[in-house]
A = this chain, B = another copy of it.
Amino acid sequence: MESLRVVLGPTEGERAYPIHIGSGIVGSSELYRPYLTGGGAAVVTNDVVGKHYLEAVERALGGAHATTIRIEDGEGAKSWQSVDRVCDALLEARIGRDGLVVALGGGVVGDLAGFAAAVYQRGVDFVQVPTTLLAQVDSSVGGKTAINHARGKNMIGAFHQPRAVIADVATLDTLPDRELRAGLAEVIKHGAALDAELFAWLESNVEKILRRDRAALTHAVRRSCELKAAIVAADEREAGARALLNFGHTFGHAIEAATGYGAWLHGEAVAAGMVMAAQLSHLQGLVSREDVQRVKNLVARAGLPVKGPAIAPDELMALMSVDKKAAAGKVRFVVLKALGAAELRGGMAEPNVRAAIVAAAQ
Contact = CB atoms under 8 A, between A and B. Distances in A.
Nearest to A120: B156
A151 B92 contact: yes
Interface string A72-98: 000000001001100110011010111
Interface stretch (A102-110, A267-275, A322-330, A349-357): A322-330
A121 B324 contact: yes
Contact of A94 (B13, B39, B322): B322
A99 to B, nearest CB: 10
Given A91-B151, A91-B152, A97-B324, A119 B158 contact: yes
A62 interface: no
A87 B152 CA distance: 11
Interface residues of A, number: 44
Contacts of A12: 11
Interface string A314-344: 0000000010101111000000000000000
Contacts of A327: 38-39, 96-98
B158 A118 contact: yes
Given A13-B10, A13-B11, A159-B123, A151 B97 contact: no
A328 B91 contact: no
B91 A84 contact: no
Interface string A149-178: 111101111110000000000000000000
A144 interface: yes
A30 interface: no
A256 B123 CA distance: 23
Given A14-B10, A96-B327, A158 B123 contact: yes
A329 B38 CA distance: 9
A80 B146 CA distance: 15
Interface of A is mostly: mixed
Number of chain copies forming the complex = 2
Nearest to A10: B13
A98 to B, nearest CB: 6
A91 B155 contact: yes
Contact of A87 (B38, B119, B144, B156): B156
A152 B200 CA distance: 54
A146 B122 contact: yes
Contacts of A115: 119
A180 B98 CA distance: 35
A329 to B, nearest CB: 8
Contacts of A156: 83, 87, 119-121
25 contacts: A10-B13, A10-B14, A11-B11, A11-B12, A11-B13, A38-B328, A39-B328, A83-B156, A84-B149, A87-B156, A88-B151, A91-B149, A91-B151, A91-B152, A92-B151, A96-B326, A96-B327, A96-B328, A97-B324, A118-B158, A119-B157, A120-B155, A122-B144, A122-B158, A123-B159
Among all A-B residue pairs, the 3 with the closest Cβ atoms? A38-B328, A11-B13, A91-B151
Interface of A: 9-14, 38-39, 80, 83-84, 87-88, 91-92, 94, 96-98, 115, 118-123, 144, 146, 149-152, 154-159, 322, 324, 326-329
Given A11-B11, A122-B158, 19 more contacts: A11-B13, A38-B327, A80-B83, A80-B84, A87-B149, A87-B156, A91-B151, A91-B155, A92-B151, A98-B327, A98-B328, A119-B119, A119-B157, A119-B158, A120-B155, A121-B157, A121-B324, A122-B157, A123-B158
